[in-house]
Structure 1
């Protein structure tokens, strides 16, 4: 209920700007379509795609699309009757929106900055651009006042760490696939033809603005899980706002008004499954079969639930031993020549395929019984690290719930948990390699089960130890 109320609050915040876009730039059909679409994206109960299962996962992507496309409409759609007061209001709204995007998900900020700035300049809205800059700086100042100056250094450090991480450079298809793969090629053709149609209807400025929007659209889609081309909704609205005159024809005699209508219909046909899923998600959520879901954190909270395939159905992936099975020469090489060992415990080449939640719950329940670890700072050698929540422990200061590289926060940890069948094997092995490289860390095994190894972390005084060793050698 809290989550639904927050989304409703976001929709209400966007409503004035959406109404203004509709009144000042669009006809009745375009205004209603754009407004309903943005509000549906903001309040949806699915992350997108075509799976009707209710999910609040990656909600920040939806919110960023709703917020960003609203600001983009104010910047690149030409108002019918520009006025000084309206331009200042639009500039303030755009500035706040861009600052929010920079804090919510910087991918959207990077993708929308160029078309927003160019749109304001081409529409000769210099006053709006100035107000937007001051409004954005106001949000930065307010954030600094609340969070402190050190927040920005930490935030930029996180951005750099994620951008340079080899663990997950992008969450889905490659950028080249989004441009040329059969599944996405129709989207590229529609986008290209929309620009051509506007150019051939003597709307060079509109064609140019749409063209410079495309790199940002593709970059954002490339960086978002699911690779949903939500931006096709904006392309449709853009064509509605710049619909060619009835008598406009190109050199071949084709009606540009008819071409724009065909392209708009084609864009809707491509995005329709995702769009209709988003639009009807609240109805699906209301009628969902709760028997197919279970609490995400049974001990801590009953209200956040996850699909049974994550919570109750556990399966693992393990490499086949070619020599033992008669498949010599046909199976993949092991990731490492020797099994990874730590503190005398062997960690096999195994990866959790489904049931990650159930595994985390079982491990958390087990380590919660280790009395010395109660309330201690826990570090987990895996891509996810939510075990501390149910284990009665604390996260290591400086660590993160998702792994992107390095050992952030390890120096503040008191205990180390190493799953024997992690959610991502490559991450666990990379973390263990870095942990083993620490010369001043002593790991004492406290518990071992078929699911995990659990260690106490002791930091050694290397300088003192070296001095003592030198003194012993001198005495001998």
Structure 2
């Protein structure tokens, strides 16, 4: 871009961030109506850090610490939980903005630059997880943050800047620092993108950029090691392997093959491969084509690992091809390549539109049909009808199978000589936790101490104002995290996941337990030490 276009672009960038800040200020909190479990999970992660705990070292989670530490910092600074969630998203967008400015100035003309900025910044600021579902929620926000950072790598690696080697340090910064952030937010993104980033820079003769990017990334990770110690990384890797080995949820959707070739994704895959062939055929762009070929499996793997499986990579690749950095070499093929980029944007367009205007819908929706979720957090509210009641799935007497809630998987039918109801929550998770927490508050045996709960997650301590279970996990994947620190085991009659209850109780010897309380909601056992 020339100086005039650069000034216009920076003004639009600042204006866009200003409008988003205004939308956040108008609303003053988070008002969600979808994925309550994920929102409570996010609240748990945040409040554990507010309590002074460190992810991976003090509690188990496969999610990187930086996906929720910005929220916890703002809460500790005195901001409400809901406001902290929104302003942390804005802070991520603000952090990305300088990198965007460099990428656009060094590679694109004005209008492609505007499109790149809108696509990248809409991701961290969105209030839907993806797809075309219109219900608002910050669920799985870390996937959006990570996609925004991943998008920065695509034009940097595929196309050198017009400034040549004068831009090496800037390229290294906008590649190395986001990759370090990806390690700390969601490691699978960094692992999936690293081969293409390394080989792409080497193939294009930019080894110096690669070396500098590695130095910057390692410097960030070394700083984290100084703060938390080398054991932090061991614990992080153990948490990740715990998910990979989990019988509950090792991946959140279809198989990897379906992500590549099922009807919902085949056109995107073919468009990516067509772009590879076209780039390879254009003089001077063959290296970019080969690099893109290495990128594609990484893009598909990221989509495979994410709930909803949106191929969001089509958005950034589409705009990059539409803007096509560098001198014109083959007008006919490049025209086809730009058309292919436009087709990619059409394929992913509905999802990007949903992400892009979700903050506007959030700011303009009425306040009346919402209710406060957690005590002490009036700016964290859920749609009232999500609190209206609870529905469950359970086997009926004489049904063909007594394991309806686990889809015919092996289900533990009794524990400690007593039957376990085949009952799983379907809706109304939050009111159920409120009722359960109120009953736990009356327990003389618990006396304000959080038990180990045989279920997917146990956020009751936030409803009760108790201390969390030391060494526990906000979301269960495997093992018995925190059990060694618990004085009691709580076995709900109706759970969010009967398979989790089966896995947990399968690891516990009933002989080491003493039943101290039983009611219509749960059994409470004292753990013999």
Indicate the residue corresponding to 1:315 in structure 2: 391
Secondary structure at the counterpart of residue 101 of structure 2: helix
Shift of 1:392: 4.0
Secondary structure at the counterpart of residue 444 of structure 1: strand
2:504 is aligned with 1:431: yes
Indicate the residue corresponding to 2:494 in structure 1: 421
Deviant stretches of 4+, over 6 Å:
243-247, 331-334
Cα deviations across residues 428-448 of structure 1 (Å, max 9, x unaligned)?
1111111137x5x223332x2
Indicate the residue corresponding to 1:267 in structure 2: 344
Indicate the residue corresponding to 2:475 in structure 1: 402
Tell me: CA distance 1:336–1:272, structure 2 relative to 1, closer, same or farther (3 Å).
closer
Please tell me whether the aligned partners of residues 72 and 112 of structure 1 are also in contact (alpha carbons under 8 angstroms): no
Shift of 1:368: 0.8
2:146 is aligned with 1:38: no
Aligned-pair Cα RMSD in Å = 2.4
2:522 is aligned with 1:449: no
Measure, in 2, the Cα distance between the counterparts of 1:139 and 1:337. 46
Shift of 1:408: 1.5
Indicate the residue corresponding to 2:370 in structure 1: 293
Tell me: CA distance 1:26–1:395, structure 2 relative to 1, closer, same or farther (3 Å).
same
Secondary structure at the counterpart of residue 182 of structure 1: coil
Shift of 1:333: 9.0
Indicate the residue corresponding to 1:471 in structure 2: none
Tell me: CA distance 1:194–1:377, structure 2 relative to 1, closer, same or farther (3 Å).
same
Indicate the residue corresponding to 1:466 in structure 2: none
Secondary structure at the counterpart of residue 416 of structure 1: strand
Please tell me whether the aligned partners of residues 179 and 188 of structure 1 are also in contact (alpha carbons under 8 angstroms): yes
Indicate the residue corresponding to 2:334 in structure 1: 257
Please tell me whether the aligned partners of residues 92 and 132 of structure 1 are also in contact (alpha carbons under 8 angstroms): yes
Please tell me whether the aligned partners of residues 198 and 204 of structure 1 are also in contact (alpha carbons under 8 angstroms): yes
Tell me: CA distance 1:226–1:291, structure 2 relative to 1, closer, same or farther (3 Å).
farther
Please tell me whether the aligned partners of residues 244 and 256 of structure 1 are also in contact (alpha carbons under 8 angstroms): no
Tell me which structure has the larger Cα radius of gyration. 1
2:102 is aligned with 1:29: no
Which residue of the other structure, out of 319, 339, 342, is the alignment partner of 2:413? Answer: 339
Indicate the residue corresponding to 1:200 in structure 2: 281
Indicate the residue corresponding to 2:353 in structure 1: 276
Shift of 1:223: 0.3
2:99 is aligned with 1:17: yes
Name which of structure 1's ranges 278-287 and 195-204 shifts more when overlaid on structure 2. Answer: 195-204
Indicate the residue corresponding to 1:165 in structure 2: 246
Unaligned runs of 5+ in 2: 1-82
Indicate the residue corresponding to 2:260 in structure 1: 179
Give the TM-score taking structure 1 as reference length: 0.87
Tell me: CA distance 1:260–1:6, structure 2 relative to 1, closer, same or farther (3 Å).
same
Which residue of the other structure, out of 460, 474, 484, is the alignment partner of 1:411? Answer: 484
Which residue of the other structure, out of 281, 284, 302, is the alignment partner of 2:378? Answer: 302
Please tell me whether the aligned partners of residues 243 and 260 of structure 1 are also in contact (alpha carbons under 8 angstroms): no
2:235 is aligned with 1:149: no
Tell me: CA distance 1:114–1:353, structure 2 relative to 1, closer, same or farther (3 Å).
same
Structure of greater relative contact order (alpha carbons < 8 Å, 6+ residues apart): 2
Give the TM-score taking structure 2 as reference length: 0.79
Which residue of the other structure, out of 191, 199, 202, is the alignment partner of 1:110? Answer: 191
Measure, in 2, the Cα distance between the counterparts of 1:242 and 1:418. 58
Name which of structure 1's ranges 256-265 and 136-145 shifts more when overlaid on structure 2. Answer: 256-265
Name which of structure 1's ranges 413-422 and 314-323 shifts more when overlaid on structure 2. Answer: 314-323
Please tell me whether the aligned partners of residues 201 and 244 of structure 1 are also in contact (alpha carbons under 8 angstroms): no
Shift of 1:334: 6.3
2:438 is aligned with 1:365: yes
Tell me: CA distance 1:289–1:419, structure 2 relative to 1, closer, same or farther (3 Å).
farther
Which residue of the other structure, out of 219, 223, 230, is the alignment partner of 1:138? Answer: 219
Measure, in 2, the Cα distance between the counterparts of 1:328 and 1:89. 62
How many residues of Structure 1 are paired with residues of Structure 2 in the alignment?
A: 444
Please tell me whether the aligned partners of residues 320 and 341 of structure 2 are also in contact (alpha carbons under 8 angstroms): no
Indicate the residue corresponding to 2:45 in structure 1: none
Which residue of the other structure, out of 157, 160, 180, is the alignment partner of 1:78? Answer: 160
Secondary structure at the counterpart of residue 405 of structure 1: coil
Tell me: CA distance 1:398–1:48, structure 2 relative to 1, closer, same or farther (3 Å).
same
Shift of 1:242: 3.4
Shift of 1:151: 1.4
